[in-house]
Structure 1
């Protein structure tokens, strides 16, 4: 099989990681996987996985650029014998759809988010993600949204949760030195409770809300918000000012490449998103690493975190509910924490493995090729 994946950039994020994971799976299955993208820090990971980068401006939403990209992709499809075009974002999906229809290639989309649609024009723009010969939803929450918003039938809709690489996110594979180095980089002293919030710095991810929830906490907590600011310097400055005013010790280390060690270095992992997450990959990764997890009780996180069994779910934006959940998590003794860790890893392995994602997506490709 020859697959062409389309994604704006290869910097960080669940869609980008899934792109690389499918390049690995296609290559292992004896096929070729091309990826049209602007590129980014994950380029080397793509090449190591066996993927081939085609550098194109897949980020632009300019209609002229979209049309030109469609022509470029059509030529690429014909030159390389591409059989399936798989789009993972709206702007490149428009170019990919036109190119696929022009050349007769099959067209697949992965619906990675709810995509706000406040106007009719925006709904039309979003609808391209539901126009594939197969439409992959990365959670049952997203599948319900796609059915309601676009009327996609079960003949085209497939639910494939995002995957966790259980070889990378394996507590036994992380040396204590990596964990100690991570805590030292964060400035955490022995015995100090570290609360980790992984995710890019943007208001809807809940960093500012969590600072508010931790204001006046009776014991010392070091809040680590690990993720790119992505040009949001004003928001980063606002977080620092809010933390100082609230008496919260805040660390903003930027992008962390060794997330397996980061999860182990934390006493608690929180995902306080104010808007529903499509899936909640960081919560699944943290569970795989045996970390206690609290996630907002909406969206795909409800499918990831089993309340009271593998972690907690708290009402989004409810400071009191979050304070109660944080207190319960930090009060766990070593025996209860170990039991929670075992259940969390077992759930991640059973429901959210990278191998399951890869095989399920390959099966979608095989359906279309047959």
Structure 2
């Protein structure tokens, strides 16, 4: 059996995780209340929607409390209940009032578990859970900055869960290093990819051609892509500087993402492209509504974040799409990517190191690229799928419901 046949078999035979039941002994559903600031389009919000669907699939009842947003309609279609609450507010008086609102909601809906996914709503959610005697879960999505005592106190609420979910080993290490948390309370649940959408087998040639025509990139030239909103810590400037060390190669680069109102930074990047003589080689694209096709267009995917990410979606999405990934050597990327097997790491913020990694990725021969592609897909299928994330989180709920409730 060839390497590629073996790896294809491994991918196709990846086990589908089973959701534990969220039904009580008397047949009634276990009710889970997730509390988030809003239900817009970010990673936390999408994870909340995914979990609401999983709760319902496991036989439970899903409620989400937030200030609202564009994903509320999808919550309702999935069969979840949305309760509008100013959960985004950091105003002390509003947060205090939210405690009472949440306690009332818990009692009226018979909530069995409260799950806070962000700092602002976590404190009133914690008080309400303790007031009503139901288990409290938190998910820590990132290594929060600690500038002073107040910031440390503000962040600490995310470590007060009866179980604290960490989205990576890196975030788990951050929690244990900076806060007094019993290791027995921490559960690592990696953020999950939608491998039904992010799969090279589900993207048609028509979609790829359509996007290619829309972007009007040079024909037949390898594409380096950095997906991510235009904000400085995402490292777009590092990649542009790296391109100056690759002038001997025929390639082009796409920075894909919205500036979200950061016009000054976008203007800086456009000026940088001119100043570094990268016009015709580097392009800024706005948000793309077909990212799987964007990955298929790419020859190398870059994650150049200068601040360590708890779990960068780009790293896993790129691997899921079978693309070589070049990423900063810190944060969650170090556990998502297998160096020299599914991608390449470079020294954080170092443009020359980034250029060397890109050169290695572009230098793969056809067989090396195929093996790397299949290993990347296998890794995501085994460790970083949405189904696995949901099953592990439902397992946390199941564990808490069957344990003695906190005093």
- Give the Cα separation in 2 of the matches to 1:43 and 1:245: 44
- Give the Cα separation in 2 of the matches to 1:205 and 1:235: 12
Matched, 1:270 2:302: yes
After the TM superposition, which of the residue ranges 9-18 and 175-184 deviates more from structure 2?
9-18
Q: Out of 219, 234, 241, which is 1:205 matched to?
A: 234
Runs of 4+ with deviation above 6 angstroms:
none
Deviation at 1:177, TM superposition (A): 1.0
After the TM superposition, which of the residue ranges 48-57 and 181-190 deviates more from structure 2?
48-57
Paired residue for 2:319? 287
CA deviations on 1:118-155 (whole Å, 9 max, x unpaired) are: 10010000000000111001111111111111121122
What is the RMSD of the two structures over their aligned residues, measured on CA atoms? 1.7
After the TM superposition, which of the residue ranges 138-147 and 241-250 deviates more from structure 2?
241-250
Task: Give unmatched runs, 5+ long, in structure 1.
Answer: none
Deviation at 1:73, TM superposition (A): 1.7
- Give the Cα separation in 2 of the matches to 1:359 and 1:174: 26
Paired residue for 2:57? 28
Matched, 1:122 2:158: no
Contact 2:122-2:158 within 8 A present in 1 as well: yes
Paired residue for 2:200? 171
- Give the Cα separation in 1 of the matches to 2:182 and 2:114: 20
Superposed, which structure 2 residues align to 1:213-362 within 5 Å? Answer: 213-215=242-244, 217-218=246-247, 219-248=249-278, 249-362=281-394
After TM superposition, the score normalised by the length of structure 1 is 0.95
| Larger RCO (CA within 8 A; separation ≥ 6) | 2
Deviation at 1:63, TM superposition (A): 1.5
Contact 2:245-2:355 within 8 A present in 1 as well: no
Matched, 1:102 2:131: yes
Paired residue for 1:66? 95
Compared CA separation, residues 208 and 99, structure 1 to 2 (3 A): same
> Highest Rg: 1 or 2?
2
Contact 1:21-1:49 within 8 A present in 2 as well: no
Q: What is the count of residue pairs matched by the alignment?
A: 370
After TM superposition, the score normalised by the length of structure 2 is 0.87
Compared CA separation, residues 181 and 3, structure 1 to 2 (3 A): same
Deviation at 1:107, TM superposition (A): 0.9
SS at 1:173's partner residue?
coil
Deviation at 1:320, TM superposition (A): 0.9
Contact 1:240-1:250 within 8 A present in 2 as well: no
